[in-house]
Amino acid sequence: MLENFKTYLINKGYSEFTPSGNPSTAYDYTKRVSKICSREAITVDHLADNIDFYIEKYGPTGNDSDFGKRSNNAFINALRRFAEFRVSHN
């Protein structure tokens, strides 16, 4: 599912690589979704099925908002894009 998510992001215009050839946003968001799954000890499918709960949890007023804000809000933004991906693939 994460590979499909990365492809979705690329198709939406997110960069796969920086000009110097390093992994960029599409790769980063995929990695951050994976990190949330590890942190929560859940599968990607469980995350997908309960995405609204995790967006709330890592969002501005959630219990894990500090983690969600890390790296210029990259974790919460990755979860939001994952929610969009899930809706478009159901």
39-66 pLDDT per residue, tens: 999 999 999 999 999 999 999 999 999 9
Q: What is the overall mean pLDDT for the chain?
A: 95
Question: Residues 85, 86, 87, CA angle at the centre, nearest 5°?
Answer: 95
2/7 Cα distance (integer angstroms): 9
The domain in which residue 43 lies consists of: 24-88
Residue 14 lies in a domain: no
| Dihedral angle over CA of 46, 50, 56, 58, nearest 10 | 10
With cut-offs at 50, 70 and 90, classify the pLDDT of residue 90: low
8-state DSSP, 59? S
Domain count, the chain: 1
Q: Rounded mean pLDDT of 20-39?
A: 95
Predicted TM-score of the model (pTM): 0.92
Q: Is residue 12 part of a domain?
A: no
Residue 62 lies in a domain: yes
pLDDT of residue 4 exceeding 70:
yes
